[in-house]
Amino acid sequence: MAKLAFLGLGVMGAPMAGHLQKAGHEVTVYNRTESKAQDWVKTYGGAMAKTPREAAKDADFVMACVGNDDDLRSVCLGDDGAFGGMTAGAIFVDHTTVSAAVTRELYAAADAAQVSFIDAPISGGQAGAENGQLSIMCGGDAGAFDRAQPVMEVYAKICRRIGDSGAGQMTKMCNQIAIAGLVQGLSEALHFAEKAGLDGRAVVEVISQGAAGSWQMENRYETMLDDEFNHGFAVDWMRKDLGICLDAADETGASLPVTALVDQFYKDVQKLGGARWDTSSLIKRLRAMG
């Protein structure tokens, strides 16, 4: 078993760190809001630290799942940052969804500190984190990934290295691009069924068994029909991710017209007061239009 640090105890990070502790690893946690770290220790055991650097001291692996580019920089760099506390040869695994640019920046900073950096964004939502069924898409050096993979597999359904540093984040962008279009299509289908006077549940029972079926349909159609949108990944976070996708599209020359449109639809949802609704709330926008 390894000595680990876990930085960031949100709805994803807390259960992920919990799986590591339950698996027998020695886990020290850090969270910006200290009370969350205290609650985690009461629930799972392990230890907590006052700073990322303190948490990372002597750790074999440091995992992070924070909010955005700036949050990630803050836990990695500076006097209290994790890189300053890590020993040569240790591995930093970032599960945050951030830009490929900050990933490559921190990969270089980690290399200068004689530690490895793996970008390993996750998909599967809060339920996936709680059930240990996340999809993890990774970028970074093959040797570091091979060492980190058994640790990540504690909470993974699938964990794969896609390529060099940044490849994990670029793959996560593909994931978010695909989800955006799927949720909009599902929202329109259910809205159309409502307007046509059809039984939405009966419609989904039939079409989900054919080519229209998807994870989104299977897991979100009932709550969408019931106008319930409190199931994890929030609209605010989706817009952050889609912004990263659209910026990267400008850099790579990719064309993302549907993604850009759905991003604006999520902006409309924010204006409806849905910043913290989950991403399936796109149907609320259609209902509000009449």
Report long-range pairs for 244-250 (Cβ below 8 Å, ≥24 apart): 244/97, 244/98, 244/99, 244/169, 244/173, 245/173, 245/176, 245/177, 247/99, 248/99, 248/100, 248/170, 248/173
Report the pLDDT value the prediction gives residue 136, as an integer from 0 to 100: 98
Domains along the chain with CATH numbers: 3-164 (3.40.50.720), 171-289 (1.10.1040.10)
Report the pLDDT value the prediction gives residue 290, as an integer from 0 to 100: 78
User: In angstroms, rounded to a whole number, what is the distance separating the alpha carbons of residues 78 and 81?
Assistant: 5
Kindly state the tokens that stand for 260. 């850009």
Given a contact cutoff of 8 angstroms between Cβ atoms, the answer to whether 173 and 248 are in contact is yes
User: In angstroms, rounded to a whole number, what is the distance separating the alpha carbons of residues 209 and 197?
Assistant: 21
pLDDT-above-90 percentage for the chain: 97
Report the pLDDT value the prediction gives residue 1, as an integer from 0 to 100: 87
Select which of 3, 22, 50, 172 is catalytic: 172
Least confident of 136-145, 191-200, 225-234: 225-234
User: In angstroms, rounded to a whole number, what is the distance separating the alpha carbons of residues 235 and 244?
Assistant: 14
Average model confidence (pLDDT) across the chain: 97
Least confident of 9-18, 82-91, 199-208, 223-232: 223-232
Kindly state the tokens that stand for 245. 């996708």
Question: Is-catalytic flag, 240?
Answer: no
Report the pLDDT value the prediction gives residue 232, as an integer from 0 to 100: 74
161-170 confidence digits (pLDDT tens): 999 999 999 9
Report the pLDDT value the prediction gives residue 55, as an integer from 0 to 100: 98
Q: Is the pLDDT of residue 117 over 80?
A: yes
198-219 confidence digits (pLDDT tens): 999 999 999 999 999 999 999 9
Q: Is the pLDDT of residue 231 over 90?
A: no
Kindly state the tokens that stand for 257. 């017209």
